[in-house]
Amino acid sequence: MASLDEIRAARLEKLNSLISKGINPYPVSTGRTHTNSEAKAKFDELTDGEAVTLAGRIVSLRAQGKIAFFDFDDGTSRFQALLKKDDPIPEKNFELFEKAFDIGDFAEIRGTLFLTKQNEKTILAEEVKMLSKSLLPLPEKWHGLQDVEERFRKRYLDLLSNPEVKERFIKRSKIVELIRKFYIDNGYIEVDLPNLQPLAGGATAEPFTTHHNALDMDFYLPIAQELYLKMLLGGGFDKVFEIGKRFRNEGIDTSHNPEFTMLESNEAYTDAKGQREFIEKLFKYVVKNLFGKMQFEYQGQTIDMEPDFKVMVWPEGLTDEVYKKEIRPSLIQPTFIIDYPVSFNPFAKRKEDNPELIDRFQLVIAGVELVNAFSELNNPVDQKERYLEEDKKGAKGEKNISPSDLEYLEAMEYGMPPNGGIGIGIDRMVMILTDVKNIKEVILFPTLKPKS
């Protein structure tokens, strides 16, 4: 079997041969008239002898004597092509195809459509044109790559080799589309917020730091956008949301990636209870429209979204560590956890009937935290006291804090309506809805340790 270097050398030789014949192996444009999926859908209309032009990557090739079949994929569908020497493709073009084209190359195929004896929709090629000459071969059998992280490093090959991976990311796009539609249909406005921030606020996490040369000052990548969203409510907006990247300088495991996608929203004149009702409707809407039913499978268990979501009060005195190890993994069906101690979040409003607790909830499905939400603090005096507690922690060396933000406090002092805030981990939600346990499986290009 030829080595990778030998295969590359042979393909470079073919590339140079094309160039020597005056053929551009990487032309600027194509003459494609239909996508492959369009050609299949309109097949009956296009079989009247009129030439069509298709294009795509050659993914299989079967040549024998004076005929050659190959399959090509343009990202919408696979299609079969047939070449016949002298009928109708000229001999010199047939020979050029034999000598210059390989699996992995991108080609443009002009010809007429017909059905084979096996009822395979096929294009009878009159001309085949090189669109992009590949120099490295596609993996024949993906299981030959033993290192799982190679799939993530070379996601482009992962997508080509494993159709289910591509389908997963198509499903991810659909999930985000459904979430966005639900928010907009419920009166929310989507906004764009800064990714360079003078303070990393809105959550308790260690940020990433960067530097702006012209201003000669440090900025932070967002760990959350909550404070900006609440300032917009103070500025007169009613319902706002953003779907964007968040960055937290934390460990990497099956449910954490330093760069992740999050939806954050704030709605004026509501509270945690109202936001719980909203979240339950959102999740049921997404599942119903994604699967066509209210049940889906995750790791061998059926998750049923039909009943009302369960509600569990945070047990008095329970530590977060014990909860994560002993309780959360057992929460399979959708469950809201409510009534946390004040120390758990510096931005949540205290409960009126018990000031030692905050009006906060989290949604857990299949042992995974998907949503964090609460009645937002809009009392600037209370907020300043909470900030001072965070600053004390920071002075003692704790990194996962939310430092005092004087600009935000000033905005609060101008007046901020009562409101509820929501944070949804998009990656984790996609994990659950696509039945995978590793967050890297739902991020196209996850953060990885460099190869040594």
Binding site residues, as ranges? 369
Contact assessment for residue 246 and residue 268, using Cβ atoms and an 8 Å cutoff: no
Residues contributing to the annotated binding site for Mg(2+): 369
Joined together, the tokens standing for residue 256 give 């954490």
| CB burial of residue 386 (10 Å; 0-12, 13-18, 19+) | buried
Q: CA 86 → CA 61, 67, 89, 281, 425, distances in Å?
A: 19, 10, 5, 63, 59
C-alpha separations of 188 from 151, 266, 279, 287, 405 in Å: 38, 9, 14, 20, 26
For the chain, give the number of residues. 452
Q: For residue 55, list its beta bridge partners.
A: 108
Q: Which two tokens stand for residue 144?
A: 């030959």
Q: Distance (Å, rounded) from C-alpha 391 to C-alpha 388?
A: 5
